[in-house]
Chain A
Amino acid sequence: MTTLLGWTRSGGRLPPGCLAKRMVNGNLVEIVAVSELSELRARLALLQKCFRISDGFLPAPLGHDAMCTDRMAAAFERIGDCGQFSLHLHFVRSDEGAATAPTTGRGFLRHRRQSNSDARKARTVGAEVLRDISERLKPRGQSLRPIGTGFAMDLLFPRGQEASVRNLFSSGQLGVDIHLGQLVASGLWAPVGFAAEALAPDG
């Protein structure tokens, strides 16, 4: 059983460990791993190699073996020449590092009520912070979602913009002052999140 990695333009370079299996739509070829990949991180590593080495790459969503080629071709047109940066905003809970935990039942309920209230405020502010960053960066696409301890946002950029976006992140020019938690930016990744959305069966 082969592991489907994604699609690229025919004639393009492929990293070691990958091979072009077949033409699927005009000038696109299906890329698979040479050997079966049992670990997700090995698959992710190959996705990244394909993304870095090819001029255009659309990663296949995990678990998708067969694909509607029309939808795939449209997704490649829109996403294939892009990469994604990911932002994670992690809230610092008000009780993190607290010296004393509540010892009474009433104290426990009041403490939890305060924590919940703080978390609600942080969520509201956090979502606004990330939306503000997105507006400044003007990505081609964005996806904001809550995660366990905060928010995650994927931003889609054409590959040519990578350096300027990275510079904005590293230079602090975004002017974001995060008191409520930690903001971590990572990338550039193959546009896995946007590809999964574009290729979803009901997408």
Chain B
Amino acid sequence: MRNQDLILVAKKCHVITAFRNTIGLPGHLSVRLQPNHPTDDPRGIAASMLDGLLYGSGDAVIGINPATDSIPALMDLYYLVDEVINQYEIPTQSCILTHVTNQIQLIEKGAPLDLVFQSIAGTEKANKSFGIDLAMLREAQSAALSLNRGTVKNESGGNNVMYFETGQGSVLSANANFGVDQQTCEARAYAIARHLSPLLTNTVVGFIGPEYLYDGKQIIRAGLEDHFCGKLLGVPLGCDVCYTNHAEADQDDMDTLMTLLATAGLTFIMGIPGADDIMLNYQTTSFHDALYLRKVLGLKPAPEFEQWLKKMQIMDEHGVVRAVTGQHHMLQNMPKHLLVAK
């Protein structure tokens, strides 16, 4: 199949999921707000969150990649995002991207957890190298469902509580591909995802580095393949359109891929301040990029989130971001302890 075939077929597949809003409706593009900070500084994270929300991002999830593996520090992050979501009554969900076993422990300790995250791959051996198996994922799913934190029901009357990340090359890099090509391994990962009814699944397409996807051309092709395979398998596929500094790629390649994927009906992209993730050390897509895609292709945020953006005077009735002044409600009502310098 050529690139246009991958786009045309994927465009016909609609995968709709729900937690506190509805993700994946035709004509909509959601954004994962990724407010990472290299030392998990709560004020730094809050600042990036506010930046993203005021640019209309964050409907897919507010998802933090923590620098820490420490259980008490992770607990603080759950409370931080939960507080922001509650403070502004944002119809969205949070996620802390730590190992699934940490999240199970944190649920037991009472963490306000919305979505369970885990990286998954397309073979049992690769998943073992991630320290997971299917039983563990099912255990985490039922633990998250038992918290009953979702407010919007999906077509089958339930909530989608899982957030998965995948990416071509992970199986090969774990030396667990048994001679099978990267794309097939990736499609097998979506088969696992589908089994657990995720709210979101994210192919982190250029993160793995040049040994697996060498340059912009390969990253673009892989992104289109992943989206096609995921949607065909009924998975709510978004894409971290990204590259690392040791790959032969730049922001122009990202522009190309995000435009192609949004044309193909991509479920969500990443939103990071200025496309520069200062914790994971790679370049992805920005809040500005999301506005560009919504503008050029006429796409909207998740409907519940769009209503909220309008209510908060962040977006006007035509879906255009409004000018924000220092007197804006969100700037005036930020949880104060987050914004006072130590």
The answer to whether A and B belong to the same complex is no
Q: List the interface of chain A (C-beta within 8 A of B).
A: none
Q: List the interface of chain B (C-beta within 8 A of A).
A: none
